[in-house]
Amino acid sequence: MNVLIINCSPVRDGATAKIVRLAEERLSAEHRTRCICIDDYEFSFCKGCRACHKTARCVQKDDFSKIMEEFEQAHIILSVSPSYWADVPGQFKAFIDRCTPWCNTHQPHASLSAGKKGYAIALRTGPRMKECERIIGTIEHFYGHLEIQCCGGLGLCSVEYKEDVASHESEILAFCDKILEA
């Protein structure tokens, strides 16, 4: 199976990236993995033109389609997101907005291949899990509209720097083991 692991942070080498690397190491034991960072792609914000509601395609031409090709190739998608003001970073939110052509709330809409499973890991610097739950909720809402089956989430508190990930390593690896068992 193909696993796509997304660093939803614009920081390519921080705590989120460290979690992505841990997940990739564990999941690559049994699956083909591909890791991407949302900030490695250049795409514009959704213009709200709604042309995609009639054509199931976005009128903009940029790197967005490259990310959707990654989604199409994956059987399992793991989104790893830090908290930016109690939700996903703006770069990832901009990507979600651009997925409107694939959104199942209008016809016609583009579709990914059926049977994809989605997972989420959320991290935040503070001690309250509620913020992580909100981030996981955003990702699961996004998955739902793309008809990706939501299969689980993990929230990690008190993670600000990549050095803070070490105290959560066993949780992360156990979560990855659940993905492998599914």
Residue range 3-35, pLDDT digits in tens: 999 999 999 999 999 999 999 999 999 999 999
- pLDDT score at 50: 94
Other CB atoms closer than 10 Å to residue 181's CB: what's the count? Answer: 7
Q: pTM for the full model? A: 0.97
Count CB neighbours of 67 within 10 A.
Answer: 19
Model confidence over 88-131: pLDDT tens digits? 999 999 999 999 999 999 999 999 999 999 999 999 999 999 99
Other C-beta atoms closer than 10 Å to the C-beta of 94 total: 16
Give the contacts of 51 (CB within 8 A, at least 6 positions apart): 57, 58, 59
Domains of the chain: 2-181 (3.40.50.360)
